[in-house]
Amino acid sequence: MSRFEGKSIIVTGAGSGIGRATAKRFAAEGGKLVCADKMPTVHETVEEITADGGTAIGVEMDAGSESDVQALVERAVSEYGGLDVLFANAGITGGLQGGLFDSDAESWAEVLRVNLIGPFLAIKYGAPEIEKRGGGAIICTASVAGIRSGAGPSSYSASKAGVINLVKTAAQQMTGSNVRINAVCPGIIETGMTKPVYDYAREKGVEGKIGQLNPLKRGGQPEELAGAVTFLASDDASYINGQALAVDGGLSSSHPVTRQMPKQAAV
């Protein structure tokens, strides 16, 4: 496929996990990538893309910094003549232990700065450039933790709920621009962010329990998110706007239930 042939594309959080897998998928379909991350591993992503014959440059930046985001968009425009797609994927958990009463305002502010202000800045600076090209797409990484409780620390969950509302609000404010703005809501995906969970499960010999609460009964892989993101970025999703797509094996399709129900209680 070559759905993104010649398209100028930014991916933040491209140094690993979902961002790296998605950047590689965009490049494999002809996109010209600006891969951004706070970590120097972003250059490894670029090396993998170019080794496969793709086009990419790497930028180390802070996704929650206004000046960095503005400079990132300007770099894409100067490098490739404009901007067509932006995947605002960078995010942090703020720590796996994050109850309301054992966290502080400073840690909350940092999570919100990266996870919510970051996508806001991406839209603020990216959308006008995409509009100049006649339209395109912005995709933000939210989470099933933003849909309902039980999938992440409190600050992380609140930030991702904000992302879900942000894409809806932004889609409305971009009315008539032909810039589509959507979110993906991953469930548990094997990435650097979830590495402690996977490492612990493997150490205890219970890796098979990861993802056991979703109907597919497994965790997801970054490449599965990449497929969803590239779909939303492509013309195949030309009439999808202001939506949050859960990519979670079906986890968020139900409220908590007892798996085994007495026959007389079933309806």
Residues 161, 110: Cα–Cα separation, whole Å? 16
The one-letter code for the residue type at 173 is Q
Residues 85, 139: Cα–Cα separation, whole Å? 8
DSSP state of 43: H
12 burial type by CB count under 10 A (0-12 exposed, 13-18 middle, 19+ buried):
buried
Q: Which of 137, 165, 158, 163 is nearest to 238 (CA)?
A: 137
DSSP count for the chain of H helices, then E strands = 8, 7
> To 5 degrees, how large is the angle CA 28–CA 186–CA 255?
150
Residues 232, 228: Cα–Cα separation, whole Å? 6
156: Cα separation from own chain's centroid: 13
Residue 156 annotated to the active site: yes
Residues 180, 231: Cα–Cα separation, whole Å? 12
| Tally of CB atoms within 10 A around 51 | 8
List 80, 156, 198, 239, catalytic entry: 156
Residues 102, 253: Cα–Cα separation, whole Å? 30
Residues labelled as active-site residues:
156
